[in-house]
Structure 1
């Protein structure tokens, strides 16, 4: 028996793969019979390319029949929607700029409906020219792993800012380092801890960060290209006073939500994906000065814009967190409560409702 084909990736080190695994398993736990299908090749090739697939996903691929008369969700880049071979076609994607590429729009309009993880994203699809019904279908967070814990024992006298991101100008690392240096002196009781992953062998993030943060500068710690298990990552979030990411655009922003679930308030740009879950009452929305052209050398961003985060506001918010740690702790309590809305089971419930409405 099969109720749904989920056409995506499941083993690579990407946000799509991680959320695909979580969504398929959450849908299974709700009683939907899901057939995972690898998007880029045969199912066995994914394991050969990226290592073992989650055992439950692999078992479903072996045991569940593949049926093309059922609803099928292609969850990946919008230029892959044409691979959808289902009886009811759903395209599920996200992008971090203010418009979709023309090819994404063309393929989205071949679907029966399209999904974005946020209301902002669904509205952006429509504004880009998608004429098929566009719905907001959220992602989620593992609330069993990402949950509050006791106060940290080490560095208790310092304000610890944490940023977790994959290297790239979109993540606003340059703004963060400049603002941090402007906000604090070398002797201040602060620490900026960066967890950075870089998959581009020709790029040297360490040199770029050193140039952006010349001495003398307040202290910075770096975890570079070191994979962490989810439980280790949760410990990292719990050890911070504030999560910071002055990103220029996000489709969702999973690290911010993971930090929130751990009781760490998020200081993130008040535009694009994070507007779905970051609130003034429980976090630190970072104002933008407007929208500016995204880099022309990125094909997906041709003709699109992204946010210009407000540098002065970022400096002020960093200082506010340091000067008012009690406020940050209070926001952390509220933000952990906010995050309870965003479990994977809640995301699976929305998907089940959408599929039920489509029948």
Structure 2
């Protein structure tokens, strides 16, 4: 499995091979892995990404310089699990990595069962599996996470809240916390004046008739699925429209709930579908809203804030840590609470000057706290720590 140590000072001693085992292959997980792959390749690591076909990850990881291998695995546990574990074990033997980094519940399950601690292993939940299900399934998921923690040299959480949630459920792990970050050169306003920035983005998007008009525009970016809570948002919209006449809502994304949500959507809601580049939608928004049921630390609010837009989010793991100081009173609502969400939306959308002020504060906060380079440096530093090798970043500081 792991490679034999090379003599000190040899090129092999300085290089690290990391295998990222990943499922799912879209959304925030795919973006996190792609950012890690690009940074780690730039740092001189050999990066291999093993993931199922489909989704955006394989192509994005190749473009970032990673080697990409196919790992056949479904999104949820099922009768195919033994074959998925064997497939992961074969890939690990083929690659011979120094370290395994397993992303999300399925890869964390299969990867840890494949190596059982024989290889330095980082497991990154990207939100806990037992939050995503209920009843017996949730109990089984929690039982596994408690048992599987012994086969992870680090359980890497993207927020302190995610770590605390695991700890409170009896998961005894060797924890690390590295908050998510975004590419601040990519996610930024296109123009320094917020009004002009919004106007130009809306012109470029050629907004459909459903979004025409002078009223405020709320945008929700995310996979159309139970986790992201778009159904809760749609239940609020008639009340929001009554409170703020002319208010409009755009849902950007696709997913398993798309058809059901379209059938139940009230007037004033536009389904934009998946977008290869979400920046125009973020910039076009007066407010970005994400009413998630669970998260680790969602990327969409960070990306919105980096683009200078205020956010309204449900109070799940990572949300409070995402927001600027003082924004919690206005910009946090309890999850699965349509009444509270409607009141918060109505209050914010009715106050354009407040939204502008919150957006400016959000942008400064994102640029100060959520630079993806800090995130990727910390993860790569964790690899060096686990492998007992000096971090290149530490060496660079010493040389100064």
- Fold conserved (TM > 0.5)? yes
Q: Equivalent residues in 2 for 1:312-351 (5 A)?
A: 312-340=339-367, 341-351=369-379
Distance 1:142 1:314 in 2: 29
Corresponding residue for 2:223? 166
Matching residue within 208, 221, 243 for 2:270: 221
Cα deviation code 1:58-92 (max 9, x no counterpart)? 4598xxx9444x33322232313323476422212
Corresponding residue for 1:79? 109
Deviation at 1:180, TM superposition (A): 1.9
- For the residue of structure 2 that corresponds to 1:74, the secondary structure is strand
- 2:301 aligned with 1:271: no
Cα deviation code 1:195-240 (max 9, x no counterpart)? 1302x4xx6x345444352xxx4x222213x3x223xx11110010
Matching residue within 184, 188, 193 for 1:143: 184
Q: Is the 8 A contact 1:34 1:60 kept in 2?
A: no
After superposing the two structures, state which structure 1 stretch, 79-88 or 115-124, moved more.
79-88
Corresponding residue for 1:127? 168
Give the strand-richer structure, 1 or 2.
1
Distance 1:37 1:163 in 2: 29
Corresponding residue for 1:237? 282
Deviation at 1:244, TM superposition (A): 0.9
Q: Is the 8 A contact 2:262 2:271 kept in 1?
A: no
Q: Is the 8 A contact 2:49 2:67 kept in 1?
A: no
Whose radius of gyration is greater, 1 or 2? 2
- Normalised by the size of structure 1, how large is the TM-score? 0.77
Q: Is the 8 A contact 1:88 1:112 kept in 2?
A: yes
Deviation at 1:185, TM superposition (A): 2.8
* Alignment length (residue pairs): 318
Distance 2:231 2:292 in 1: 10
Q: Is the 8 A contact 1:120 1:273 kept in 2?
A: yes
Q: Is the 8 A contact 1:38 1:46 kept in 2?
A: no
Cα deviation code 1:124-172 (max 9, x no counterpart)? 2222332221121222212122112333225683211001122223322
- For the residue of structure 1 that corresponds to 2:31, the secondary structure is helix
Deviation at 1:14, TM superposition (A): 4.2
Cα deviation code 1:88-146 (max 9, x no counterpart)? 22212232555852223322221222111111111222223322211212222121221
Q: Is the 8 A contact 2:34 2:64 kept in 1?
A: no
Q: Equivalent residues in 2 for 1:24-63 (5 A)?
A: 24-29=37-42, 31-38=43-50, 53-58=61-66
Q: Is the 8 A contact 2:348 2:355 kept in 1?
A: yes
Distance 2:233 2:24 in 1: 31
Corresponding residue for 1:178? 235
Structure 1 residues 50 and 344: CA distance shift in structure 2, 3 A: closer
After superposing the two structures, state which structure 1 stretch, 87-96 or 238-247, moved more.
87-96
Corresponding residue for 1:91? 123
Corresponding residue for 2:381? 353
Unaligned runs of 5+ in 1: 289-307
Corresponding residue for 1:300? none
After superposing the two structures, state which structure 1 stretch, 262-271 or 139-148, moved more.
139-148
Q: Equivalent residues in 2 for 1:294-313 (5 A)?
A: 308-313=335-340
Structure 1 residues 165 and 39: CA distance shift in structure 2, 3 A: closer
- For the residue of structure 2 that corresponds to 1:185, the secondary structure is helix
Q: Is the 8 A contact 1:6 1:37 kept in 2?
A: yes
Q: Is the 8 A contact 2:24 2:104 kept in 1?
A: no
Corresponding residue for 2:252? 195
Q: Is the 8 A contact 1:179 1:314 kept in 2?
A: yes
Q: Is the 8 A contact 1:241 1:265 kept in 2?
A: yes
